[in-house]
Chain A
Amino acid sequence: MNDTQSQSALRPDTENQVLDAVQWAISEQTPIEIRGHGSKQDIGRPMQVADCLDLSSLSGITLYEPEELVLSAKAGTGLDEIESLLAQNNQELQFEPMDYRPLLGRQDCGRGTIGGVLATNLSGPRRIKSGAARDHILGIRAVTGRGDIIKSGGRVVKNVTGYDLSRGLSGSWGTLAAFTEVTFKVLPCAETQASLIVSGLNDADAADIMARSMGSDAEVSSAAHLPESVRGRFIEGELPRGSATVLRIEGFGPSVDYRLGKLKQSFGEIAPCTRLDPQASVQLWREIRDVEPFCDGTSRPVWRVSVAPGVGHMLVAALRLQTGVDAFYDWQGGLVWLRMEADAEAELVRSAIRALGGGHATLIRTDGTTRNMVPVFEPQNAALSALSNRLKQQFDPGYILNPARMSTDL
């Protein structure tokens, strides 16, 4: 599915070499693709670039102080390496960055780099309680498309000194600057977890149960709804019969038992409830995170849609009247994963979102031709798009970095 064809790769292993490479590209007026492991290379508009800036050798954890809850790493450091070091100290990146490889059929590359995590603002099922990469970033160093090394933020949690560029550059998909080093807040892993499965609810009733659980004091960390059509594709078909509405509880053992019991008491009369033990719960949420039911080895279009949690099921109901679509919900219903049976149907999906109060849809998986024809990222209105373009000009006036990956004018 890789349509971005860069001829050759520059592989710097120091920040100064990144600077040299970007300055050279500016001077040659030759656009470059910024790449880590290439695990998300197939997302976004295909780029017409001759050269690639491969940051995977700009690697290494530069600071880790568990008691201070802080970790810094060069941007090309593998996420696997970081997560395994954190795990040795019983800590984690609490936003549980997802792995796009299974969905995109890219098992041939690394899990992704920490710079890529921030550049794409990754998150996971805990997004609704704990935020995304942008909520945990503390500081960055980067080389802009103007050929300058800049820094922002620092290594402390509370910091309002200057504009928050660390967040401002998160999710910019390498179109403004190439990160060279990032500093994240890390947190202790929960002692244990369990999930409550409420079975057999339709999408609308599930939305109601998820809203009630998230609005309770049970501190639910994730809430997903897996309709009957996808239920069997999770944890080797071990989920109970009927649709599964899944509520995750994490924390200290006695607290998890107590809170899960409280939820069971509230919902037990409405539908059958089952408790998933920690091991199965961990596996299930990993599969929800990585969109397991749609990891089918095809290039059938998959949309990642973010809407207000309460309207996710209405979106799917509206689409089903007009096209063939399979769907499941994370983030209390606010993250809808859609697999289209045939065409991407971008206008249909996006107008349905607008009709329900707004949000955005990203065409995560499709074939290369479609990625050239259909805006992969949600198009913006004129004023916002002009502002985004002005920001691009201030960071990368020559359109050197990942040109047009997010949209034709960025």
Chain B
Amino acid sequence: MTSPKMPDPHDEVMQRRAIIVSDLKAMVPGEGVVDATNEMRAFETDGLTAYRQLPLVVVLPQTVEQVSKVLKYCNANNIRVVPRGSGTSLSGGALPLEDAVLLVLSRFNRVLDIDYDNRVAVVQPGVTNLGISNAVASRGFYYAPDPSSQIACSIGGNVAENAGGVHCLKYGLTTNNVLGLQMVLITGEVIRLGGKHLDSEGYDILGLMTGSEGLLAVVTEVTVRILQKPETARAMLVGFPSSEEAGQCVADIIGAGIIPGGIEMMDKLAIQAAEDFVHAGYPLDVEALLIVELDGPEAEVGFLIDQVVEIAERNGASMSRVSGSEEERQTFWAGRKAAFPAVGRISPDYYCMDGTIPRKALPQVLAGMRRMSEKYGLAVANVFHAGDGNLHPLILYDANIPGELEKAEDFGNDILRLCVEVGGVLTGEHGVGVEKRDLMPAMFNKEDLDQQIRIKCAFDTQHLLNPGKVFPQLHRCAEMGRMHISKGQVPFPDIPRF
């Protein structure tokens, strides 16, 4: 894709590369420093593979002390740092910079404590999302947020991106399931936030850290809530002749006071691609398909399924099928979970978007996308976290056709602008990263963005942590600190006084 403009490299850092590498090797001995070009190739990109850049050097620390030393050293020597977990970011959050140390946390891979009485697990940031669920599965527990990349993505990365998944509507996002963190500031200071107890004793810095995309601090330990698995879970497929009817059905289910464990929508192109790929038994004669999962005690699930069937029929459903076994439930989900690779089979390339909209705007946004699809001459497949309004349009294109990639990008940007226009946002769960950085002004004005940058200044005055991500421009903290109101300048306001 069109290469994003990244911050100009610090020449003096590039020139000192050999010294920096040797200093880092002293701090992180053994296999902890990777500086050979061919070995660094493995780290040149993340889940947004269109962007590639070799880092200055890769460091894989193993202890908090090493992380602290490396950061302190970089801060003292004006060296940029890009933190990385498993590198599955879909927005380029872990894209290296030419003059930056790539700090990879994958060797922080231990589960430190499982405390069933308090229902928490304390893990290192490199443990995978699914790894947490696996570690507590023997006692029937699991960790609720389940991004599609859960086999590979790390919990540290989940915190950085405030990762979601298909169960968010009922069980919340990462930010609702993290109770504590240990983090290291760019100064090397180690700070603990929260723990096994609830709420913050001061400012909610835990809330600020979650979703901060590696720009504020490096997470070295995470305490998460674990939950007992529901007694049972059943999924149902419901097909509709139009996406409008499917959308209304979702609204009516929620309006009836039912909060499903998961509720997903796919359009015709996505259904077809998924069915061809995994043979999940999806109907091919419908325009929109809902997968609705209900979980809880058997008695409740049965009762609610009957209600959902009735609501679906009222909304003109042309078919519905309830899973009769755990195996069948998994099959229903297999198609949805493989939707991205399935689309990958029918098109040489695809570009995955991630806007969120108020659910009621769905018909308007889908119609808008159809118009754009005609305008750009590119097809789009839609998968949609219908319960929470999070869209994943997949724009199909062929990078080998000159100009098509730029067209796909423009198409994507138009979709996101439309999302913001109808009251939604640029990104629901993939993060801003590099990808949507330059679209931030579509959602935020200068005052909004400046205040966000001031938060960055409270953590990292020299903008050394992950620069070039999230913000279109980073102004110097000294500039940002200046007040524009001077003493005695503002007259007494004309406001009712009591």
Residue-wise, chain A 91-118 has the 8 Å CB interface mask toward B (1 for contact) of 0000000000000000000000000000
Chain B residues positioned under 8 Å from A13 (CB to CB): 496
9 A-B pairs with CB atoms under 8 Å apart are A147-B484, A148-B450, A157-B169, A161-B436, A170-B204, A218-B297, A308-B115, A384-B202, A407-B202
Whether B268 is near chain A, meaning CB under 8 Å from some CB there, is: no
CB distance from B498 to the nearest CB of A (A): 5
Secondary structure of the A contact surface, majority rule: mixed
Known: A66-B255, A167-B204. A161 touches B455 (CB 8 A): no
From residue 168 to 209 of chain B, which have CB atoms closer than 8 A to chain A?
168-169, 172-173, 175-176, 185, 189-193, 195-205, 207-208
Chain A residues positioned under 8 Å from B259 (CB to CB): 187-188
Whether A152 is near chain B, meaning CB under 8 Å from some CB there, is: yes
Q: Is the CB of A162 within 8 A of B440?
A: yes
From residue 449 to 498 of chain B, which have CB atoms closer than 8 A to chain A?
449-452, 454-455, 457-459, 470, 480-481, 483-498
Whether B53 is near chain A, meaning CB under 8 Å from some CB there, is: no
Chain B residues positioned under 8 Å from A169 (CB to CB): 204
Q: Is the CB of B199 within 8 A of A121?
A: yes
Q: Is the CB of B254 within 8 A of A69?
A: yes
From residue 175 to 222 of chain A, which have CB atoms closer than 8 A to chain B?
176, 187-189, 191, 208, 211, 214-219
Interface residue from A54, A215, A255 paired with B116 (Cβ < 8 Å): A215
Whether B21 is near chain A, meaning CB under 8 Å from some CB there, is: no
Q: What bracket does the count of chain B residues touching chain A fall in?
A: 35 or more
Which residue of chain A has its CB nearest to the CB of B173?
Answer: A158
Binds A, one of B236-244, B272-280, B354-362: B354-362
- Once bound together, how far apart are the Cα atoms of A187 and B169, in whole Å? 10
Known: A11-B495, A251-B300. A171 touches B204 (CB 8 A): yes
Whether A151 is near chain B, meaning CB under 8 Å from some CB there, is: yes
Q: Is the CB of A168 within 8 A of B484?
A: no
Whether A240 is near chain B, meaning CB under 8 Å from some CB there, is: no
Q: Is the CB of A358 within 8 A of B496?
A: no
Whether B368 is near chain A, meaning CB under 8 Å from some CB there, is: no
Would you list the 9 A-B pairs with minimal beta carbon distance, nearest first? Answer: A167-B207, A188-B257, A360-B201, A255-B300, A308-B196, A158-B428, A27-B490, A20-B493, A378-B201
CB distance from A219 to the nearest CB of B (A): 7
Residue-wise, chain B 357-385 has the 8 Å CB interface mask toward A (1 for contact) of 11110000000000000000000000001
Which residue of chain A has its CB nearest to the CB of B423?
Answer: A155
Which residue of chain A has its CB nearest to the CB of B389?
Answer: A156
Chain A residues positioned under 8 Å from B258 (CB to CB): 188
Secondary structure of the B contact surface, majority rule: loop
Q: Is the CB of A191 within 8 A of B299?
A: no
From residue 112 to 162 of chain A, which have CB atoms closer than 8 A to chain B?
121, 123, 127-128, 131-132, 134-135, 144, 146-152, 154-162
Q: Is the CB of B303 within 8 A of A255?
A: yes
Q: Is the CB of B498 within 8 A of A150?
A: no
- Once bound together, how far apart are the Cα atoms of A121 and B172, in whole Å? 17
Binds A, one of B22-30, B127-135, B227-235: B227-235
Chain B residues positioned under 8 Å from A293 (CB to CB): none
Q: Is the CB of A359 within 8 A of B197?
A: yes
Chain B residues positioned under 8 Å from A391 (CB to CB): 203, 205, 455, 458
Chain A residues positioned under 8 Å from B117 (CB to CB): 208, 211, 215, 309-310
Chain A residues positioned under 8 Å from B202 (CB to CB): 171, 377-378, 380, 384-385, 388, 406-407, 410
Q: Is the CB of B231 within 8 A of A217?
A: yes
Q: Is the CB of B356 within 8 A of A24?
A: no
Q: Is the CB of B431 within 8 A of A160?
A: yes
Whether A84 is near chain B, meaning CB under 8 Å from some CB there, is: no
Known: A214-B119, A308-B196, A357-B195. A160 touches B485 (CB 8 A): no
From residue 297 to 319 of chain A, which have CB atoms closer than 8 A to chain B?
306-310
Chain B residues positioned under 8 Å from A57 (CB to CB): 496
Residue-wise, chain B 429-442 has the 8 Å CB interface mask toward A (1 for contact) of 11110001000100
Q: Is the CB of B198 within 8 A of A127?
A: yes
Chain A residues positioned under 8 Å from B106 (CB to CB): none
Which residue of chain A has its CB nearest to the CB of B424?
Answer: A156
CB distance from B70 to the nearest CB of A (A): 18
Chain A residues positioned under 8 Å from B303 (CB to CB): 252, 254-255
CB distance from B8 to the nearest CB of A (A): 24
Interface residue from A11, A23, A90, A135 paired with B496 (Cβ < 8 Å): A11
CB distance from B172 to the nearest CB of A (A): 7
Chain A residues positioned under 8 Å from B9 (CB to CB): none
Q: Is the CB of A259 within 8 A of B257?
A: no
- Once bound together, how far apart are the Cα atoms of A215 and B114, in whole Å? 13
Whether A277 is near chain B, meaning CB under 8 Å from some CB there, is: no
- Once bound together, how far apart are the Cα atoms of A64 and B431, in whole Å? 28
Interface residue from B299, B390, B429, B457 paired with A255 (Cβ < 8 Å): B299
